[in-house]
Amino acid sequence: MTAAPPPPSWLTVFLDFPAAEFEAGVDFWRGSTGYELSPVRGADGEFATLLPPVGDNYLRVQRLGDGPTRLHLDVHVDDPWASAEAAEAAGAELVEESPHGYFVMRTPAGFTFCLVPHPGAEVPPALVWPTWQHRSRVTRFCLDVPRKKYAAEVAFFQELLGGDWQQVADPETALRPAGCWALDVRLQPAEVSAEVTSHLHIATDDLEAEVERLAELGAMPRASRAGKTILEAPGGTALCVVEVEPGDLR
């Protein structure tokens, strides 16, 4: 029996924008994170990385030829080939084997991810925003999965990512704490949508100040709940701002 490949060492989120939304989307995420933009790369200059002042990068951007704004995951592994085989055995579909050494895959519920060989190790700290004197950082990747596909998708991600998962009933969620990664991963059932959607969480120690800061960058608040505000960012991405205790924000 072939041994299972070791678990991933890092996760990166790609923010994928259609050409018409790319500039606005990149400008917002540069401002919201405080990260610099790397030189562009790719055959058409379609890729770039958001570079934190300290620590390893975990957010990147891509200009699409067409299609809606979306997110996808890069899952960093020791051996992409072995991990692709294991992912297929767990229910994923192979979409593309790149000559650059990575594999494009699709989960059982239809979410796109890539298996890549590039490691990451150092989690960037939350940044302090001088005008408001609070801190924030992108800390969580969330996947909203159609109800009928939810159980299978949770089982797949548990197999893909490993780690110690927390599952709760109210509200129903499956959470993989970040551990040594920069991001938690959270799956939750979507009762209405027929397709998988995804969004990011920004954690902060001052919810009101962070929402005000992001609104000045062009985000539109859409809904508020206890300890959380949902916004729509320029470029079409959704995000949640979540208030945490200062000691819980690394």
* 80-113 pLDDT, tens digit each: 999 999 999 999 999 999 888 899 999 999 999 9
- For the chain, give every residue range classified as CATH 3.10.180.10: 10-116, 127-248
Q: Report the pLDDT value the prediction gives residue 2, as an integer from 0 to 100.
A: 65
Q: Does domain 10-116 have CATH number 3.30.70.260?
A: no
The whole-model pTM stands at 0.95
The torsion angles phi and psi of 169, rounded to 5 degrees, stand at -100, -20
Pick the CATH number of 127-248 from 3.10.180.10, 2.40.30.60, 2.40.160.50, 3.40.50.300: 3.10.180.10
Strand ranges of the sheet holding 103-106, from the earlier edge strand across to the other edge: 36-37, 47-51, 59-64, 10-18, 70-76, 112-116, 103-106, 93-97
Q: Report the pLDDT value the prediction gives residue 87, as an integer from 0 to 100.
A: 97
Low-confidence stretches of the chain (pLDDT beneath 50) = none
Full DSSP string of the chain: -PPPPPPPSEEEEEEEEEHHHHHHHHHHHHHHHTPEEPPPBSTTS-EEEEE-SSS---EEEEEESSS--EEEEEEE-S-HHHHHHHHHHTT-EEEEE-TTS-EEEE-TTS-EEEEE------PPPPEEETTTTEEEEEEEEEEEEEHHHHHHHHHHHHHHH-S--EEEETTEEEEE--TTSS-EEEEEEESS-SS-EEEEEEEES-HHHHHHHHHHTT-EEEEEETTEEEEE-TTS-EEEEEE--GGG--
